[in-house]
Structure 1
Amino acid sequence: MKNYFLKSVMVLLVICGAVSCSSEDKSSASTKELAAGTPVDGINKFQAYTQKYTENTVLTQNHATGHVGDLFFTHWKDGGTTSLTIKMDGNFNVSWQGGGYNYVGGPGWHFGYINRVIGYNFAEDSGANFITVYGWGYDKNMPVTDPAHLVEYYILQRWSDAYEPSQNGVFGKTFISNGVEYSTYRTLREEKPSINSTSTFYQYWSKPNQPLALGENREIIFADHVKAWADTGWILPDMNNFDASDDPTYQVMAVEVFNPPKDGTASGRVWDATK
């Protein structure tokens, strides 16, 4: 449910690189934010995404994207104080302060892949709204009047009670994937910010019957969720394209907080467990 900034801000990010031009960010002199390195092939349409960091990276500015090692990351907030630390080995940490704002960020890949298996281990979570696989699918050839042309998806692993998708969503089915029982839901976002400007689109959700425990290596078999959504007619559009106006169809393990009542942190590690 991240609010996407306008193309002009994307241009500003390209100019500023990894270090923000805002006065807010200039005050973070103690934080090392690395300069952009080798471009990543294939995503030149979104120039901010081509920056590649070759060392452990700490991000505190409002908007940043790029790659650390083999992993892509997104880091976005509309206010407040939040930092994302990513290490070359896939370990990462999100720290936030309480306040009235929204944040979403984490490492993953700049495209979705139906056969990807997402490996992760979260060691700490002190109150994130969502810890989730998060991404988008988009089909430019479908009419924009069909909300299925653009889909924002969540495979929840942990969540707070601040937002409950089953309350406002259409129930799909219950299924088991890799030993975890999930229920699926679909919600509708009408004329909301997205990776393709302001649009009307669906959200697909997979939610376990209870939040999953910390400190355990887990693998999310993404294809199981795509099939479960499709079993009730919820088709996920193309997850590997650069057709949208504001972002590619990325897929990350995200930490999301909105209007956090207090300070908190979440930390873990992400890896590609695809066999």
Structure 2
Amino acid sequence: MKLKGIQKIIGGTVSAMMIAASIPAVASAADQQDRGNIGGYDYEMWNQNGQGQVSMNPGAGSFTCSWSNIENFLARMGKNYDSQKQNYKQIGNIVLTYDVEYTPRGNSYMCVYGWTRNPLVEYYIVEGWGDWRPPGNDGENKGTVSLNGNTYDIRKSMRYNQPSLDGTATFPQYWSVRQTSGSANNQTNYMKGTIDVSKHFDAWSQAGLDMSGTLYEVSLNIEGYRSNGQANVKSVTVSTDGSGGGASSNDWNQGQEQNNDWNNWNNGQQNNDWNNWNNGQQNNDWNNWNNGQ
């Protein structure tokens, strides 16, 4: 099932999309949407067709959210850079830190999310998921990168004639997905970490993915598809001077991974590998996530 790329984008500076810029082409009249800026952070809650029960309570660099019986739901918070019209390298050394209590019950994930323009690209850095590891079997393998104590698989997938930041378009999606999820399904996961976002972008560039476009946003995103769940984002920060700190490695294709996964630090949880995560999972594909967007 492809977690829909969320074509809703943070537009706090502009009008405020948390990752959800106000893209009229994205949300239908029936969609439930709430956007704003608080304490310098852009946020958005989006609920497809207004289905089920949802909530998002934003603070300055924090929010809580919950969802049940939904089609597709997202809550996100971060920084919008659209007005700067600059490439990520011009903006600075972008680092996002998070401290989250995340409870997925079904198909859901927690990630860093955003877009670039010229070229139009949608991107994800996935830290944890519920019962389905995105993007499934979709797309091309582009290698791995080890950063902040975790190893990520890099993938590229394509969206054809789908809603986007700039209306209906064909565009690529770039992914960094942790080889070992920082979360488990049907339990509260205490997740805390640092993501050197610019170094993921560097790795994608080295893998042949085009990151020359102007950066639209960098946000922490909680998303659910036909599932239930909740999250308490106790803090999220986005800096452009590298002050989030703590990159353990930025070597391309480095295979070594430090054993400092947050769940190991806090709960002694087992490192469930990809095969364990997917045993018995439904063959939900990416297009299902985007249907109706």
TM-score surpassing 0.5? yes
Normalised by the length of structure 2, the TM-score is: 0.64
Residues 16 and 42, structure 2, Cα contact 8 Å, conserved in 1:
no
Q: Structure 1 residues 72, 126: closer, same or farther in 2, change over 3 A? A: same
Q: Counterpart in 2 of 1:231?
A: 206
Q: Work out the CA distance in 2 between the residues paired with 1:175 and 1:200.
A: 27
* CA distance in 2: counterparts of 1:201 and 1:4, whole angstroms: 12
Structure 1 length normalisation: TM-score? 0.68
2:155 to 165, 180, 185: 185
The aligned counterpart of 2:248 is none
Matches within 5 A, 1:126-275: 126-127=104-105, 129-139=108-118, 149-162=119-132, 164-212=134-182, 214-240=189-215, 249-260=216-227, 263-268=228-233, 269-273=235-239, 274-275=242-243
Q: Quote the offset at 1:160 in angstroms.
A: 2.7
Higher relative contact order (CA 8 A, sep 6+): 2
Match of 1:91 among 43, 62, 75: 62
1:134-172: CA deviation from partner (whole Å, max 9, x where unpaired): 000011xxxxxxxxx211000000113335314112000
Q: What secondary structure is seen at the aligned counterpart in 2 of 1:126?
A: strand
What is the match of residue 122 of structure 1? 100
Q: Is the 8 A contact 1:155 1:206 kept in 2?
A: yes
CA spacing shift, 1:48–1:175, aligned 2, 3 Å = closer
- The question of whether the paired residues in 2 share the 8 Å contact of 1:191 and 1:198 is answered with yes
Question: Secondary structure of 2:42's partner?
Answer: strand
Q: Displacement, 1:194? A: 0.4
Checking the alignment, whether the CA contact within 8 Å between 1:173 and 1:228 is kept in structure 2 is no
Secondary structure of 1:228's match? Answer: helix
Whether the aligned pair in 2 keeps the contact of 1:172 and 1:185 (CA below 8 Å) is: yes
Q: Which letter maps to 1:218?
A: G
**Hey, what's the Cα distance between the residues in 2 that align with 1:168 and 1:207?**
13
SS of 2:190's equivalent?
coil
Count residues in correspondence.
207
Letter in 2 for 1:271: T
The one-letter amino acid paired with 2:45 is H
Runs of 4+ in 1 over 6 A off after TM superposition: none
Structure 1 residue 69 corresponds to structure 2 residue 39: yes
| 8 Å Cα contact 1:117-1:221 kept in structure 2 | yes
Query: Cα gap change, 1:160/1:77 in structure 2, threshold over 3 Å: closer, same or farther?
Result: same
- Kept after mapping to 2: 8 A contact 1:124/1:267: yes
Give the 5 Å matches for 1:6-25.
Answer: none
Distance verdict in 2 for CA 1:120–1:224, change over 3 Å: same
User: Separation in 2 of the partners of 1:232 and 1:129?
Assistant: 27
Q: Is this contact kept in 1: 2:79–2:238, CA < 8 A?
A: no
- Alpha-carbon offset, residue 239 of structure 1: 3.6
Report the AA paired with residue 117 of structure 2: Y
Q: CA RMSD in A?
A: 2.5
- Structure 2 unaligned residues grouped into runs of 5+: 19-30, 83-87, 184-188, 244-293
Shift, 1:178, TM fit: 1.4
| Percent of matched pairs sharing the same residue | 26
User: Residue type matched to 2:103 in 1?
Assistant: D
Aligned pair in 2 of structure 1 residues 62, 237: CA closer, same or farther (>3 Å)? farther
How does 1:24-63 map onto structure 2 within 5 Å?
Answer: 43=14, 47=15, 62-63=32-33
SS in 1 for 2:168: strand
CA contact (8 A) 1:150 1:237 kept: no
Query: CA offsets, 1:49-71, max 9 Å, x none?
Result: 69xxxxxxxxxx81122211121
